Amino acid sequence: MSIDHILSEKFGFRSFRQGQREIIEDVFHGNDVFAMLPTGSGKSICYQLPAYLLEGIVVVVSPLISLMEDQVEQLRRQGEKRVCTFHSGMPYHVRMKILRDLTRYKILYVSPETLQTDMLSGTLSRMKVALFVVDEAHCISQWGHEFRTDYLKLGEVCNRIGRPPILALTATATVNVRKDIIKLLNLDRPEMHIYSVDRPNIAFQSEIAETAIEKMDILIRYVQTLKGPGIIYTSSRMATETITEVLKRNGVEKTAYYHGGMENDDRLLTQKQFIYDELDVICCTNAFGMGINKPDIRFIIHYHFPSNIESYLQEIGRAGRDGEVSLALMLYHEDDDFIPERLITAELPTKQDIDHFSIMVDVDKLDQALFEQSITSLNLSETAERFMHFHVKKFFREEKRDFQSWKNQLVEFIEKRIKEKRERIRYMKKWILSEKCKRESILGAFSEKLDKRPLNCCHVCGLSLEPYESSKEKSPRPEMKSWEEELALIFHQENVDV
Ligand X SMILES: Nc1ncnc2c1ncn2[C@@H]1O[C@H](COP(=O)(O)OP(=O)(O)O)[C@@H](O)[C@H]1O
Q: Which residues bind another protein (CB under 8 A)?
A: 69, 73, 77-78, 89-91, 94, 256, 263-266, 268-270, 272-273, 275-276, 278, 480, 483-484, 486-493, 496, 498
Q: Which of Mg ion, ligand X, Zn ion, none interacts with 407 (beta carbon under 5 to 8 A by kind)?
A: none
For residue 455, the SS3 value is coil
- Tell me the Ramachandran region of residue 271: left when phi exceeds 0, alpha when psi lies from -120 to 50, beta otherwise: alpha
Helix (H) / strand (E) containing 3: helix 3-11
Q: Which does 293 bind (CB under 5 to 8 A by kind): ligand X, Mg ion, Zn ion, none?
A: ligand X
Count of CB atoms situated within 10 Å of the CB of 136: 21
The Cα 329–Cα 459 span in angstroms is 10
Between 190 and 289, CB nearer to Mg ion: 289
Q: Which of 33, 120, 202, 458 binds Zn ion (CB under 5 A)?
A: 458
How large is the angle between the packed helices 368-376 and 382-397, nearest 10 degrees?
A: 170
57 vs 457, beta carbon nearer Zn ion: 457
Q: Does residue 13 bind ligand X (CB under 6 A)? A: yes
Decide which of ligand X, Zn ion, another protein, none touches 127; Cβ closer than 5 to 8 Å per partner kind.
Answer: none
- Nearer to ligand X by C-beta: 202 or 384? 202
Nearer Cβ to ligand X, position 71 or 374?
71
How many residues bind to Zn ion according to rule CB under 5 A? Answer: 5
Min dist CB 43 to ligand X, Å, is: 3
What part of residues 37-56 is at the interface with Mg ion (CB under 5 A)? 43
From Mg ion, another protein, Zn ion, none, which one binds at residue 175 (CB under 5 to 8 Å depending on kind)? Answer: none
Listed residue (172, 169, 238, 158) closest to 448, CA to CA:
172
Which does residue 43 touch among another protein, Zn ion, ligand X, none (CB within 5 to 8 A, set by kind)?
ligand X
> DSSP assignment, residue 152?
G
**Which partner, another protein, Zn ion, Mg ion, none, binds residue 458 by CB below 5 to 8 Å per kind?**
Zn ion
Torsion of CA 465, 467, 470, 471, to 10 degrees: 100
Helix axes 403-433, 382-397, angle to 10 degrees: 140
Per-residue mark of binding to ligand X, 36-65 (x: CB under 6 A): -x-xxxxxxx--------------------
**Residues within window 275-304 making contact with ligand X, judged by CB under 6 A:** 293, 295
Which one of Mg ion, Zn ion, ligand X, none interacts with residue 461, CB within 5 to 8 A by kind? Zn ion
Per-residue contact track with ligand X, 303 to 332, x per CB under 6 A? ------------------x-----------
Residue 306: contacted member of ligand X, Zn ion, Mg ion, none (CB under 5 to 8 Å, by partner type): none
The contacts of residue 31 (CB under 8 Å, 6+ apart) are 165, 189, 190, 191
Residue 362 region by backbone torsions, left for phi larger than 0, else alpha for psi between -120 and 50, else beta: beta
The item of ligand X, another protein, Zn ion, none sharing an interface with residue 254, based on CB under 5 to 8 Å by kind, is none
Q: Which does 437 bind (CB under 5 to 8 A by kind): Mg ion, ligand X, Zn ion, none?
A: Zn ion
Max intra-chain CA distance, the chain: 80
How many Cα atoms within 13 Å fall on the side-chain side of residue 31?
Answer: 15
Q: Is residue 496 within 8 Å of 488, Cβ to Cβ?
A: yes
Work out the end-to-end distance of the chain between its first and last CA atoms, rounded to an integer number of angstroms.
54
For another protein, the closer CB: 272 or 419: 272
Q: Is 138 in the site for ligand X (CB under 6 A)?
A: no
Look at residue 59 and give its three-state secondary structure. Answer: strand
DSSP, collapsed to helix, strand or coil, labels residue 462 as: coil
Buried b (16+ CB within 10 A) or exposed e, 461-477: bebeeeebeeeeebeee
* Packing angle of the helix pair 403-433, 351-360 (nearest 10 deg): 160
State in angstroms the smallest separation of the CB of 138 from Mg ion: 12
Cβ at position 457, least distance to Zn ion in Å: 3
Give me the helices (H) in 361-402, please.
368-376, 382-397
Residues 366 and 403: their CA atoms lie apart, in Å, by 8
Restricting to residues 49-78, which ones interact with Zn ion according to CB under 5 A? none
Min dist. Cβ of residue 423 to ligand X (A): 27
Q: Which of 439, 446, 463, 468 binds Zn ion (CB under 5 A)?
A: 439
| 493 near ligand X, rule: CB under 6 A | no
| AA identity, residue 425 | I
Cβ–Cβ < 8 Å for 415, 436: no
Q: How far is the CB of 89 from another protein (least distance, A)?
A: 8
Among 209, 457, 463, 474, interactor with Zn ion by CB under 5 A: 457
- 175 vs 487, which CB is nearer to another protein? 487
Minimum CB–partner distance for residue 462 and Zn ion (Å): 8
Given the rule CB under 5 A, which residues bind Mg ion?
A: 43
Given the rule CB under 6 A, which residues bind ligand X?
A: 13, 16-17, 20, 37, 39-45, 293, 295, 321
Given the rule CB under 5 A, which residues bind Zn ion?
A: 437, 439, 457-458, 461
